[in-house]
Chains A and B, each alone.
Chain A
Amino acid sequence: MIQAANEPTSDSDAREAVVQCRRLTKVYKKLLASRAKAVRALNEVSLSVRPGQIVGLIGPNGAGKSTLLNLIAGLIFPTDGDVTVCGHPARSIQARQSLGYMPEHPVFLGGYSARATLRYHGALLGLSRAAIADQVDKSIQRLQMQEFIDRPCADFSQGMKQRLALGVAMLNEPQLLLLDEPSNGLDPVGIIRLRDLLKQLQDSGAAIVISSHRLGELEKLTSDYMFMHHGQIITFGDNAMTGRAGQLLVGLESDGPRLAETLLPASKVLEASETELALAVDDPAEVPDIVSKLARGGARITSVMLQREDIEETFLRLCDERGQ
């Protein structure tokens, strides 16, 4: 079992966590199907998400991201393990009071306008008439829905649907927001607005879990990633980039191959030319040591540049390492 790196270790941490999953397993098995045909979508996943944290769920198709979101949202039951939201079991009414959920393909009643849809969800949340009116106005302002607020949802473009779905999910100012591909169909301005909105929510203490294939967008929002593969979490948190902090490019006046051979371990050297060394760096803290070692060994250094792996490169590397 691979556990999330920041899984809480004490009871107080667990109480503080907005989402707490313990050894969560989900096996899909069709009625009357043999055991061999069962699909293990999630395999003993443990993790916790703190208030104010934005977690990006990444992974190839079929990795278990949607299953994890569905389990946290209480839409499906775990085969084993448990999941709590704000200290309450995921499917409980109390958990749902703290939850906002936006699916990948939002669907609304075609005959309802955006305003009627927001009102409907406000009523489901148990808000009073005045509170609903207040929240609806806020949503309209926040998501710039003025131009289509009274049009029927059947006429909406994908971008309008996404904005309305976000409005619906944020209606109760939830402590936990679960977003599945939130930027689908949004134009660049909409994406920037979404980012600002999520940052605001984060500042107000809400935890946000985003499943997205738009890695560049995720990178602008958070440094906490959870790479999922075959129903397991492979890496979690800022140290997701672990394994490889990046590449250190050291410019030299001359003699690159000899310096690399005599001063550095072979495993570190990716490429060595007369005037440049490309070195693998696991941790940025190693950089001063490498540079001073080279300088002490007589290298005349002209430049030093650390190229960090971005999320897309990390994603591709992790997929590649696992033969995806």
Chain B
Amino acid sequence: MRAYELLKETFWRRRYIWIVHVVWLALYVMFWWLYYPDPEEFGGLLFLCGGFLLPLALSAGIIGDDVASGRICVVLTRPLRPGTLFAYRLLGLSLQGAIHFLLAGIVILVLRLVTRKGSTEDLAFWLFLSWLLFNTWAALSTSSSVLVKRSQNSLFLLVAFITIGGVLQILIWNLRNYAVGDVLKGILRYGFPPHTLLRDLGNGEFEEKNLVLAGLHLPRTLVYTAHSLLLTMIYALPGVLIFRKKQFLAERD
């Protein structure tokens, strides 16, 4: 019962969540209807809108709203560890993402059947990659929501991502002839949300090129999936640690 209620809460905590889902689905439909995109184009849209922007929209104030309103004070006087609450908020988001991409897949398949135009090749793979990216952003956003009051966590994250990413790109360009440039490139590629890795994977750039790790030949899909999930956990960790030690005053902001 507890798990069910905690997951359900993430779906119903704000009425606009449903509006966001519907608007995003409508966007996919419109894009399909107007352009009959090829798999890569449609995958790119799913990846950008569903994997990157959707988690930011859905996780706005996921914890900060409760902190600002004081609701968190009643929830945390229940026999529930703050870390558990955090985990369920993130799991709820991830579940929302999964349902969203499942629905998107069904809608597009129906459109394909009705219009007999466009291509659904690799659609399932793109949906899966978008969900992986969705999870990393959801984890980052939930963590930042512990620190940033109300719903500004998403905006804060977007600005931070653009700023830090931009600065790193400039540094990499200027230091391209030095070893430190490669280190920064590695940080951007493997430490940041895995936009490039997953998009390249979706575009089929690594096909039949296994990765050799400790003498083992591993499919890149598997390795990058594990990498995305690991990043999700790493991004969630600071949020859990801070949430556990955070103090909450029963006063409205």
Interface assignment of A2: CB less than 8 Å from any CB of chain B: no
What 1/0 flags go to A74-106 for Cβ under 8 Å of B? 111100000000000000011011011111111
Contact, CB under 8 Å: A124 / B250: no
Would you give the 0/1 interface string for A275-302, flagging 1 where the beta carbon is closer than 8 Å to chain B? 0000000000000000000000000000
Interface residues of B in 40-77 (CB under 8 A from A): 69-71, 73-77
Asked whether any CB of chain A lies closer than 8 Å to the CB of B117, the reply is no
Does A107 sit at the interface, judged by CB under 8 A?
A: yes
Q: Which residue of B lies closest to A122 (CB)?
A: B1
Residues of chain B with a CB closer than 8 A to A69's CB: 250
**B247 to A, closest residue via Cβ:** A76
Contacts of B14 in A (CB 8 A): 111
Cα-based distance from A108 to B74 in the complex (angstroms): 10
Of the candidate stretches B4-12, B201-209, B224-232, the one touching chain A is: B4-12
By secondary structure, the B interface counts as: loop
The count of residues in chain B whose C-beta lies closer than 8 Å to any C-beta of chain A is: 28
Residues in B neighbouring A105, C-beta threshold 8 A: 70, 252
Q: Is the CB of B71 within 8 A of A107?
A: yes
A305 within 8 A of B: no
Q: Please, how many residues of chain A have a CB less than 8 angstroms from a CB on the other chain?
A: 42
Q: Which residues of A contact B252 (CB under 8 A)?
A: 105, 107
Contact B77 A75 (CB under 8 A): yes
Q: Are A107 and B69 in contact (CB under 8 A)?
A: yes
Bound Cα distance from A120 to B5, whole angstroms = 6
Q: Are B250 and A73 in contact (CB under 8 A)?
A: yes
Chain B residues near A110 (CB-CB < 8 A): 15
Q: How far is the CA of A100 from the CA of B74 in the complex (A)?
A: 9
Is A124 a contact of B2 with CB atoms below 8 Å?
yes
| A108 cross-chain contacts in B, Cβ below 8 A | 71
Judging by beta carbons under 8 Å apart, are A123 and B251 in contact?
A: no
Q: For residue B81, which residues in chain A have a CB less than 8 angstroms away from its CB?
A: 93
Instruction: Give the docked Cα–Cα distance between A107 and B248 (Å).
Output: 15
Q: Which chain A residues numbered 111 to 155 have a C-beta less than 8 Å away from chain B?
A: 111-112, 119-129, 132
Q: What per-residue 1/0 map shows which CB atoms of A55-69 lie under 8 Å from chain B?
A: 000000000001001
Contact yes or no, A66 B71, CB < 8 A: no
B80 in contact (CB, < 8 A): yes
Judged by a CB distance under 8 angstroms, whether A192 is at the interface is no
Choose from A96, A101, A119 the contact partner of B5 (Cβ within 8 Å): A119
Complex CA–CA separation, A145 to B6 (angstroms) = 24
Contacts of B71 in A (CB 8 A): 107-109
Does residue A170 face the partner (Cβ distance < 8 Å to B)? no
Whether the pair A96, B13 counts as a contact (CB closer than 8 A) is: no
- Which residue, A75, A93, A108, A168, has most C-beta atoms of chain B within 10 A? A75
- The docked-state distance in angstroms from the alpha carbon of A66 to that of B247 is 14
Contacting B76 at CB < 8 Å: which of A75, A94, A112, A119? A75
The contact of A124 among B5, B12, B69, B70, by CB within 8 Å, is B5
Contact B78 A121 (CB under 8 A): yes
Residue B215 at the A interface, CB < 8 A? no
Please tell me which one of the listed residues A76, A96, A124, A168 contacts residue B248 in the complex, with CB atoms under 8 A apart: A76
Residue-wise, chain B 208-248 has the 8 Å CB interface mask toward A (1 for contact) of 00000000000000000000000000000000000000011
Cβ–Cβ contact A180 & B250, under 8 A: yes
Taking A96-B79, A123-B2, A124-B79 as given, write out 17 further A-B residue pairs in contact, using a Cβ cutoff of 8 Å, ordered by the A residue number: A70-B250, A73-B73, A73-B77, A73-B250, A75-B76, A75-B77, A77-B247, A101-B73, A101-B77, A103-B73, A103-B250, A105-B252, A123-B5, A124-B2, A124-B75, A127-B1, A132-B1
**Interchain Cβ contacts under 8 Å between A and B, 30 examples:** A66-B251, A70-B249, A70-B250, A73-B250, A75-B249, A76-B247, A93-B80, A96-B77, A96-B78, A101-B77, A103-B74, A105-B70, A106-B74, A107-B69, A107-B71, A109-B9, A111-B15, A120-B5, A120-B9, A122-B1, A123-B1, A123-B4, A124-B2, A124-B5, A124-B6, A125-B78, A125-B79, A129-B1, A132-B1, A165-B74
State the A residues within 8 Å of B (CB). Answer: 66, 69-70, 73-77, 93-94, 96-97, 99-112, 119-129, 132, 165, 168-169, 180
What are the 6 closest A-B residue pairs judged by CB atoms, nearest first? A123-B5, A124-B78, A76-B247, A101-B77, A123-B1, A107-B71
